[in-house]
Amino acid sequence: MTERPTRKRKMGDTKETAPKKPASKSKWPLIKPKKNLQITRLRDLDLFTVQNFFSSAESKSFVKIAEAIGFAHQGSLGPTKGEAYRDNDRISVNDPVLADTIWDSGLNKLFSDIKIRGKVAVGLNPNIRFYRYNVGQRFGRHIDESVNLDDGKRTYYTLLVYLSGGPGELKSKPKNDSTNPSGSSFDPLVGGETVFYGPRNNTVAEVAPTEGTALLHLHGDKCLLHEARNVTKGVKYVFRSDVVFA
């Protein structure tokens, strides 16, 4: 890695410059309630994963809809200007209904006993983001900032859900197949791991993208330095929101 770790605010997700679209009128997939969701702790409750948070059908549908909406490239000024290196494609939509639906599908139960500074989790940030990483794209070491919302609400966790990767991901299709969302052959995803680092630059956890798996971690002043590694094959798709506390 060539970038130098920095904890300047510019590196947080709140400084993204891609335009935010209004509440989407897209027909999102029907999100079914999930029973018996289990967490896998990577660093107690500061960092954990949830398998099968989205079904394979839900993940594929989100990819298809996101491609229909259209991604915009998201770059950065780079480490020499105090920003993490960033090269990916992004969509941002404001959709409180989708946020509530996903929260009520089972995530609310996972957070029922988690309190931060006397606050409890009440839902997801309606600012919904989708990320796409093609071959060669990555997001250098950075932190995610907390966001203040209305009525004293504040975000404390990042929610990432991988929409590709692993055995259930999109299979290869001919390049002339019009149903192929991004025009690539959809080789199996290789690379794109999310890696977290400790205070001495030691690796705390490395999470490989797996379709439907959710990754949740504290952000703001408790956020671990982390990166999205280079994609070397296939396409990495990610759903992103934040857990809101009040």
Percent of the chain with pLDDT over 90: 74
Predicted confidence (pLDDT) per residue in 17-52, tens digit = 444 555 556 689 999 999 999 999 999 999 999 999
Cα→Cα distances 118→85, 115, 234, 237, 242, Å: 35, 6, 43, 34, 18
Q: Are 121 and 104 in contact (CB under 8 A)?
A: no
Torsion over CA: 94, 129, 246, 35 (sign)? positive
DSSP secondary structure string for all residues of 162-185: ESS-STTSPPP--TT-TT-TTSS-
Predicted confidence (pLDDT) per residue in 60-95, tens digit = 999 999 999 999 998 876 666 667 889 999 999 999
User: What CATH superfamily is the domain 9-21+28-245?
Assistant: q2cbj1_9rhob like domain (2.60.120.620)
Q: Are 103 and 123 in contact (CB under 8 A)?
A: yes
pTM for the full model? 0.85
Average pLDDT over residues 163-180: 60
- Compare 142 and 176 and report the one with higher pLDDT: 142
- Compare 177 and 156 and report the one with higher pLDDT: 156
Residue 26 has a pLDDT of 67
List the chain domain ranges. Answer: 9-21+28-245
